[in-house]
Amino acid sequence: MKKTPVSLHNKTILVTGSPGFIGANLALRLLTEMTSGTVISLDNLNDYYDPGLKQYRLRMIEQAAQESTVNHLFVKGSIADPALVEEVFQIHRPDIVVNLAAQAGVRYSIDHPDVYMESNLIGFYRILEACRHYPVEHLVYASSSSVYGGNKKVPFSVEDPVDHPVSLYAATKKSNELLAHSYAKLYNIPSTGLRFFTVYGPAGRPDMFYYSATQKLAAGGTIQIFNYGNCKRDFTYIDDIIEGVIRVIQGAPEKNTGEDNLPLPPYAVYNIGGGTPENLLDYISTLQEELVRAGVLPEDYDFEGHRELVGMQPGDVPVTYADSRALEEDYGFRPQIGIREGLRRFAQWYRKYYSL
């Protein structure tokens, strides 16, 4: 797909969902990558997980901004708040929008559907409306590998049907793609959706398995391994995710006119995944080894005594596996960091952060 180059320099870039995990790392990278301009972080700092971790990431961003030639502004609030979104766009006129704000989590959506509707549907609609009335060079937004649901064909390709989500979270992410396509067609908004595959790394989300398992093991508890360990995940290290996002930002879908003299939707969707699905038991073994290496767990830790094999959870799928060839063809990028290196960095960060 042909792309229109988008420069990062001397631009105003709005990153919603910063200081969330991916958003914070993107903001940090932009403060390093850009030579001038403004990065706006927007997040409501909710308590879905420990707000202290978001404050920690925000302090990192603010410290990086002090050492950067780029301005940084943090706006606290919800993307579902129409007055706030209107104010941010009216005052700051962002050139680029990266929408990472969302209520995350597959299992949480089973018992808390209302927050997913507010953030993932109404919130995304507010962003689309703002991009309509205050045109942007490129809207990049987070989708998810969960849209593939129970698809049996692997690896997952963006050409595959994704009409049968197995969780409400997945349904909201597929809805985002449909809404973005409609707005691209109707209002000629260049937009790119990114289907992230199991993102992990330092200062990540505590509800993700690798992080919650570490907390339980460090406290002497037992971790549950779902589907009796017969799961495979396409784990993707945070630095690979950010490299992919940075490259995508700089290449917006090209605007064209169709035979009906109406805009062809400048719209694209890509997978960003490691491309090498890992067996869950192997991943856990690597995590435990790196936790011992980092001093989070003792040398004589009884791995087998702290594992419990259980059945599959509602909303979960047995395999995720990304076909990221389109990303490589259009942007020349594929993830590089394996789980050994990625989990080692996480374990080292975990020990330092919790002062173990």
* pLDDT single digits (tens) 204-259: 999 999 999 999 999 999 998 877 777 888 999 999 999 999 999 999 999 998 88
CA 94 to CA 107: how far, in whole Å?
34
* Alpha-carbon distances of 348 from 198, 203, 212, 256, rounded to whole Å: 20, 11, 16, 48
User: With contact defined as beta carbons under 8 Å apart, do 287 and 210 qualify?
Assistant: yes
Cut 0.75: pTM above it: yes
Q: Which of 48, 49, 125, 169 is catalytic?
A: 169
315 pLDDT exceeds 70? no
> What tokens appear for 246 in the block?
């940075």
pLDDT in tens, 70-80: 999 999 999 99
pLDDT value of residue 154? 85
pLDDT tens digit sequence for 122-170: 999 999 999 999 999 999 999 999 999 878 888 999 999 999 888 899 9
Rounded to 5 degrees, φ, ψ at 321 are -155, 115
Check: CATH 3.40.250.10 for 3-201+234-275+320-336? no
SS3 304: helix
Give domain limits for the chain: 3-201+234-275+320-336
φ, ψ of residue 238 in degrees (nearest 5): -55, -40
Q: What pLDDT score does 230 carry?
A: 78
Active site residue 169: yes
